[in-house]
Amino acid sequence: MTPTSSSAIAAFRALHIPGDPLILVNIWDAGSAKAVAAAGAKAIATGSFGVAGAQGRADGEDFPIEDVFENLTRILSVTDLPVTIDMESGYGADPAAVGVSVGRATAAGAAGINMEDRLPGRNELLSITEAQARYRAAADTGIFVNARCDVFRGADAAKDGDALIAATLDRARAYADAGAGSLFVPFLGDARCIGAICKASPLPVNILRSRAGPTHKELAALGVARISHGHQPWAAAMAWLTGQAEQVLGGEEPDY
């Protein structure tokens, strides 16, 4: 690990404060990184869906790993802010391979990564033991690991909230033991569940912002330490572009 990446990792880690969350408006390339940095961001984060979509690829590690690092290099060249990248399931068939892939991100100067506890194209979660081994391999590189926990994906928080909270906290403890820096619980908009997880988690909690869920201020009050916007900025940008193109091609003047 270079001194530069070491200091960036420490600075990025310090931004995770329960009740005063780090807000990440996820980007997809160097140009979008510059735009978000200019708006006053404290850190830069990619989202795998937008990164892949910007190149006409699908999410789920369809974006080749060499392109992941080329994109990272370009982003790092335009900002001095800590940069964390979405590495999906870690780009590795086993923990050793994950360690190699994540080690490349660390060596390149990334401050952090996102990593999932299920494999590309699979709905079922890895066992806690398997996921823990993969997170340990990633964390052993020295990088800040945002350990994604997909317990709430496709689940009914209103109906099964207590069981889902317990399952999430079981994984949170295992991922903390593996060296993860934070716990990412996407697809969760239920305030009661968010608050319970934040209160009991050994790791600072990252929540994916959704229009139907709690606001930034409400998430902060619940104890959230990091708020991500995921694919939403990219999707909004593409929707705007499509709308403007339809106006122009339909004979109207654009809004720009």
What is the mean pLDDT of the segment spanning 110-120? 97
Side-chain half-sphere CA neighbours of 142 within 13 A: 18
Compute the distance between CA of residue 223 and CA of residue 174 in angstroms, rounded to an integer. Answer: 21
- For residue 59, name the pLDDT band (cuts at 50, 70, 90): very high
CATH number of 3-249: 3.20.20.60, 3.90.170.10, 3.40.50.300, 3.40.1280.10? Answer: 3.20.20.60
Structure-block tokens of residue 220 = 């902060």
Model-level pTM? 0.96
DSSP strands (E only) in the chain: 22-24, 44-45, 83-86, 112-115, 144-148, 182-185, 205-208, 226-228
> Is 80 exceeded by the pLDDT of residue 4?
no
> Is 80 exceeded by the pLDDT of residue 224?
yes
What is the mean pLDDT of the segment spanning 210-232? 97
Q: What is the sign, positive or negative, of the torsion defined by CA atoms of 153, 155, 157, 161?
A: negative
Q: What is the sign, positive or negative, of the torsion defined by CA atoms of 137, 138, 143, 146?
A: negative
> Is 80 exceeded by the pLDDT of residue 113?
yes
- Helices vs. strands in the chain: H and E counts, helices first: 10, 8
pLDDT given at position 11: 96
DSSP 3-state of 237: helix
pLDDT given at position 252: 97
Compute the distance between CA of residue 38 and CA of residue 123 in angstroms, rounded to an integer. Answer: 37
> Is 70 exceeded by the pLDDT of residue 253?
yes
- For residue 2, name the pLDDT band (cuts at 50, 70, 90): low
Work out the percent of the chain whose per-residue pLDDT is above 90.
Answer: 97
Over residues 153-204, the pLDDT tens digits come to 999 999 999 999 999 999 999 999 999 999 999 999 999 999 999 999 999 9
Indicate the residue type of 22.
L
pLDDT given at position 3: 63
CA angle 141, 224, 9 (to 5 degrees): 25
What is the mean pLDDT of the segment spanning 136-152? 98
Over residues 16-47, the pLDDT tens digits come to 999 999 999 999 999 999 999 999 999 999 99
What is the mean pLDDT of the segment spanning 94-106? 98
> Is 90 exceeded by the pLDDT of residue 1?
no
Indicate the residue type of 120.
P
pLDDT given at position 5: 78
Compute the distance between CA of residue 227 and CA of residue 209 in angstroms, rounded to an integer. Answer: 6
Compute the distance between CA of residue 221 and CA of residue 131 in angstroms, rounded to an integer. Answer: 30
> Is 80 exceeded by the pLDDT of residue 212?
yes
Work out the percent of the chain whose per-residue pLDDT is above 70.
Answer: 98
R_g of the chain computed on alpha carbons:
18
Give the residue among 223, 159, 217, 221 at the shortest CA–CA distance from 185: 223
Mean pLDDT over all residues of the chain? Answer: 97
Largest CA distance in the chain: 60
**Cβ–Cβ under 8 Å, residues 237 and 54:** no
> Is 90 exceeded by the pLDDT of residue 6?
no
